[in-house]
Amino acid sequence: RKVDTVDLERIASEIEQTVQNSLEREISTEQLGEMVMERLKPLDEVAYIRFASIYHRFQDASSFMREISRYLEEK
Protein backbone atom coordinates (compact mmCIF):
# COMPACT_ATOMS: atom_id res chain seq x y z
CA ARG A 1 0.00 0.00 0.00
CA LYS A 2 1.14 3.48 -0.75
CA VAL A 3 0.85 5.26 2.59
CA ASP A 4 2.36 8.72 2.82
CA THR A 5 5.78 8.65 4.46
CA VAL A 6 4.89 11.73 6.49
CA ASP A 7 1.94 9.88 8.01
CA LEU A 8 4.09 6.85 8.84
CA GLU A 9 6.72 9.08 10.46
CA ARG A 10 3.99 10.81 12.47
CA ILE A 11 2.66 7.45 13.66
CA ALA A 12 6.15 6.31 14.65
CA SER A 13 6.76 9.57 16.52
CA GLU A 14 3.41 9.32 18.33
CA ILE A 15 4.13 5.77 19.42
CA GLU A 16 7.66 6.65 20.50
CA GLN A 17 6.36 9.60 22.52
CA THR A 18 3.66 7.46 24.13
CA VAL A 19 6.23 4.86 25.15
CA GLN A 20 8.63 7.48 26.50
CA ASN A 21 5.84 9.16 28.48
CA SER A 22 4.64 5.93 30.04
CA LEU A 23 5.73 5.01 33.53
CA GLU A 24 6.72 1.55 32.37
CA ARG A 25 10.35 0.73 31.74
CA GLU A 26 9.48 -1.84 29.12
CA ILE A 27 6.63 -2.31 26.69
CA SER A 28 5.43 -5.62 25.32
CA THR A 29 5.30 -6.38 21.63
CA GLU A 30 1.56 -6.87 22.08
CA GLN A 31 1.17 -3.30 23.36
CA LEU A 32 3.31 -1.98 20.54
CA GLY A 33 1.35 -3.90 17.92
CA GLU A 34 -1.93 -2.57 19.31
CA MET A 35 -0.60 1.00 19.15
CA VAL A 36 0.36 0.52 15.51
CA MET A 37 -3.04 -0.94 14.63
CA GLU A 38 -4.87 1.82 16.49
CA ARG A 39 -3.08 4.45 14.40
CA LEU A 40 -3.25 2.61 11.08
CA LYS A 41 -7.00 2.07 11.31
CA PRO A 42 -8.07 5.66 10.52
CA LEU A 43 -5.19 6.18 8.07
CA ASP A 44 -5.66 3.29 5.65
CA GLU A 45 -8.13 0.49 6.20
CA VAL A 46 -6.36 -1.97 3.90
CA ALA A 47 -3.00 -1.31 5.54
CA TYR A 48 -4.70 -1.86 8.90
CA ILE A 49 -6.20 -5.20 7.85
CA ARG A 50 -2.93 -6.34 6.29
CA PHE A 51 -0.97 -5.41 9.41
CA ALA A 52 -3.57 -7.07 11.64
CA SER A 53 -3.43 -10.25 9.59
CA ILE A 54 0.33 -10.51 10.09
CA TYR A 55 0.32 -9.26 13.68
CA HIS A 56 -2.43 -11.64 14.80
CA ARG A 57 -1.10 -14.51 12.65
CA PHE A 58 -4.52 -15.58 11.52
CA GLN A 59 -4.57 -19.33 11.04
CA ASP A 60 -7.74 -19.53 8.99
CA ALA A 61 -10.25 -17.48 7.02
CA SER A 62 -12.72 -17.42 9.93
CA SER A 63 -10.38 -15.55 12.26
CA PHE A 64 -9.47 -13.17 9.44
CA MET A 65 -13.14 -12.50 8.72
CA ARG A 66 -13.83 -11.87 12.43
CA GLU A 67 -11.17 -9.14 12.42
CA ILE A 68 -12.66 -7.55 9.31
CA SER A 69 -16.14 -7.71 10.85
CA ARG A 70 -14.88 -6.14 14.07
CA TYR A 71 -13.23 -3.37 12.06
CA LEU A 72 -16.42 -2.67 10.10
CA GLU A 73 -18.52 -2.59 13.28
CA GLU A 74 -16.21 -0.01 14.86
CA LYS A 75 -16.11 2.12 11.74
Mean pLDDT of all residues belonging to the chain = 87
**Structure confidence at residue 38 as a pLDDT band (50, 70, 90):** very high
Q: Specify the 3-state DSSP secondary structure of 10.
A: helix
Average pLDDT value for residue range 8-31: 92
pLDDT over 90 at 69, yes or no: no
Q: How is 39-60 classified by DSSP, letter by letter?
A: HHHHH-HHHHHHHHHHHTT--S
What confidence score (pLDDT) does residue 31 get?
92
Percentage of residues in the chain having pLDDT higher than 70: 97
What's the CA gap between 70 and 30, in Å, rounded?
A: 18
